[in-house]
Amino acid sequence: MVNLPKANMEEKTGKRILCIEDEPEMIDLIRLILMRRGFEVLGAAGGMAGIKAVREQLPDLVLLDLMMPDMDGWEVYQQMKADESTRHIPVIVVTAKAQSIDKVLGLHIAKVDDYISKPFSPQELMNSVENVISRKKAGS
C-alpha cells in the first residue's frame, strides 16, 4: 500500500505572514487557519512590536488590526508606507471596526490591499490572503 501525501494541506508555500494584533487568541486563530494552507505565520502583540517585526522580518504580507492600545494600525500602516524597505509589503486590515466609512477609508483613501471585518470566517480570511498574494505575484 502506498502512502499518498495529504492533499497539499501541509505543503509549505514559502510565504511569511505577519499578524499584528493585540489579542494573542486572534493571532493563534489566524495562525491555525493559515498554517493549514502552508503559510508561516508570525505574530506581533501590538503596533510597536508590529512595526519592529515588519522591519526585521520583511514578511510577504501583513495582517493588521486597527485598534491597539500602544500604536494604532493606521500609524503602523503609515510608518510601513513611509519606509523604503517596507512600503512594497501588502497589508490586509483585519478589524472589528466594521463601519462602512472605515472600509472606504481603508480601501480607497489609505489604499490597503484588502479589509476584513471581525468576526470573519476561515474561508473569508483564506480568500483574502490568497487574492492579495496572487495579485502581488502578478505585479512583481
3-state secondary structure the chain: CCCCCCCCCCCCCCCEEEEECCCHHHHHHHHHHHHCCCCEEEEECCHHHHHHHHHHHCCCEEEECCCCCCCCHHHHHHHHHHCCCCCCCCEEEEECCCCHHHHHHHHHHCCCCEEEECCCCHHHHHHHHHHHHHHHHHHC
Is the pLDDT at 125 greater than 70? The verdict is yes
Residue 9's alpha-carbon distances to 19, 43, 110, in angstroms, are 21, 21, 34
Minimum mean pLDDT range among 24-33, 91-100, 102-111: 102-111
Q: Which residue has the higher pLDDT, 104 or 45?
A: 45
Strand-pair category, 40-44 with 91-95 = unpaired
Which pLDDT score is estimated for 133?
A: 94
Residue 140's pLDDT band (boundaries 50, 70, 90)? low
Q: How many CB atoms lie within 10 A of CB 36?
A: 12
Which pLDDT score is estimated for 2?
A: 46
Identity (one letter) of the amino acid at 55? R
Full set of structural domains in the chain with CATH: 16-139 (3.40.50.2300)
Which pLDDT score is estimated for 107?
A: 56
Strand-pair category, 91-95 with 114-117 = parallel
What is the Cα–Cα distance from 68 to 48, expressed in whole angstroms?
Answer: 10
Mean pLDDT across 86-103: 80
Integer Rg of the chain from CA: 15
The cell for 79 is 510608518
Minimum mean pLDDT range among 65-69, 76-80, 87-91: 65-69
Mean pLDDT across 98-125: 76
Which pLDDT score is estimated for 105?
A: 63
